[in-house]
């Protein structure tokens, strides 16, 4: 009988959808990514497609980071799968919360490069239902709009012709643990996941357990339900925003656009914020550090009387309001 984890993974991403394609599987060595790799390897059916593992060694934890890489190499040899390993160009000196976005960007750039080199159609990551709940709560604490409440999307474009996909978003860490135990499959434990200097870790280690214990034993399910409802609502909003963007955007390349302000003058701030969020998604610009205040400030810049205003946003994005348009430029 097929293990329940494999049944859920098969339902989430049917093997027939990727049997003829190359899939990059992102593996850190932790439980979630090891389970994803073992699951996809078990479900793979005959076809011209292949699984290629990508491991990014951030070198933030010295010998422990190198041991993660060694473990991943051994696992790939056991499964007879190709492995691509990347690392930062410069040696990091410390783990700091301010470096989290930069580390993520470097990791995803590596995954994109591997996908292009291998001719891959999909890049699969091991975000789980627990990650989803933590992300939604993190955004609530930080401040977010409806789109942020939608949490981690199941898919998103990584580059032209390459889609990042998260097949484990409906599967919990406890289900992953049971699956790995059934295989007697070891995995690496990243001690930095318990480092309370990181807000995300404090939410996982302190806040969520407290909410579960003292307020609602089903708080994770409640957060996931909220995320699902918000994502459904956002799809309706995005369809409306797409029409607005078509009327007011002048594309000047992947790193610069101009937003015509006159067509937007009649819209309330709530709609303007959603239009800007949709624009960020179309451009694949980083949204992780963009809070409500950032979106609200940008929406204000679209309104009359803002000529000459300028703001620098997360991701090295500079917004300059001219007389008739808002210019947005992302600097490298």
User: Residue by residue, what is the 3-state secondary structure of the chain?
Assistant: CCCHHHHHHHHHCCHHHCCCCEEEEECCCCHHHHHHHHHHHHHCCCCCCEEEEEEECCCCCCHHHHHHHHHHHHHHHHHCCEEEEECCCCCCCCCCHHHHHHHHHHHHHHHHHHHHHHCCCEEECCCCHHHHHHHHHHHHHHCCCHHHHCCCCCEEEEECCEEEECCCCCCCHHHHHHHHHHHCCCCCCCHHHHCCCCHHHHHHHHHHHHHHHHCCCCHHHHHHHHHHHHHHHHHHHHHHHHHHHHHHEEECCCCEEEEECHHHCCCCHHHHHHHHHHHHHHHCCCCCCCCHHHHHHHHHHCCCCCCCCEEEECCCEEEEECCCEEEEEECC
Q: How far apart are CA 165 and CA 90, in angstroms?
A: 29
Rounded Cα distance, 324 and 309, in Å? 12
pLDDT value for 210: 97
Q: How far apart are CA 240 and CA 238, in angstroms?
A: 5
pLDDT at 98: 40
Per-residue pLDDT of the chain (332 residues; tens, 9 = 90+): 899 999 999 999 999 999 999 999 999 999 999 999 999 999 998 888 899 999 999 888 889 999 999 999 999 999 999 999 999 876 555 544 446 777 888 899 999 999 999 999 999 999 999 999 999 999 999 887 787 899 999 999 899 899 999 999 999 999 999 999 999 999 999 888 888 988 899 999 999 999 999 999 999 999 999 999 999 988 887 787 888 888 888 877 778 999 999 888 888 888 888 888 888 888 888 887 888 889 889 999 998 889 999 999 998 999 999 999 999 999 98
What was the pLDDT predicted at 61?
A: 82
**Which pLDDT score is estimated for 90?**
62
Instruction: Give the pLDDT of residue 83.
Output: 98
User: What's the pTM?
Assistant: 0.80
């Amino acid at each position: 009988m097929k293990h329940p984890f494999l049944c859920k993974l098969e339902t989430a991403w049917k093997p027939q959808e990727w049997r003829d394609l190359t899939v990059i599987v992102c593996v850190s060595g932790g439980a979630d990514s090891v389970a994803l790799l073992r699951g996809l390897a078990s479900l793979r059916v005959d076809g011209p497609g292949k699984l290629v593992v990508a491991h990014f060694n951030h070198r933030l934890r010295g010998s422990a980071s190198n041991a993660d890489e060694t473990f991943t190499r051994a696992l790939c040899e056991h499964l007879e799968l190709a492995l691509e390993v990347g690392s930062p160009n410069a040696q990091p000196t410390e783990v700091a919360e301010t470096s989290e976005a930069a580390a993520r960007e470097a990791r995803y750039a590596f995954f994109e490069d591997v996908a292009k080199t291998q001719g891959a159609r999909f890049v699969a990551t091991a975000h789980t239902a627990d990650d989803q709940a933590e992300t939604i709560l993190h955004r609530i604490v930080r401040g977010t709009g409806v789109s942020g409440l939608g949490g981690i999307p199941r898919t998103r474009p990584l580059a032209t012709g390459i889609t990042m996909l998260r097949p484990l978003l409906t599967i919990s860490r406890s289900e992953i643990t049971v699956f790995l135990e059934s295989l007697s499959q070891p995995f690496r434990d990243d001690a930095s996941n318990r480092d309370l200097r990181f807000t995300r870790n404090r939410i996982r280690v302190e806040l969520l357990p407290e909410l579960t214990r003292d307020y609602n034993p089903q708080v994770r399910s409640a957060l996931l339900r909220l995320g699902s409802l918000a994502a459904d609502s956002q799809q309706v909003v995005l369809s409306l925003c797409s029409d607005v963007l078509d009327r007011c955007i002048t594309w000047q390349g992947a790193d610069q656009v101009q937003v015509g302000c006159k067509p937007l003058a009649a819209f309330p701030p709530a709609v303007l914020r959603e239009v800007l969020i949709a624009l960020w998604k179309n451009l694949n610009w980083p949204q992780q550090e963009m809070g409500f205040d950032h979106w609200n400030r940008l929406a204000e810049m679209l309104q009359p009387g803002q000529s000459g205003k300028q703001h620098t946003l997360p991701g090295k994005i500079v917004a300059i309001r001219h007389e008739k348009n808002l210019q947005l430029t992302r600097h490298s």
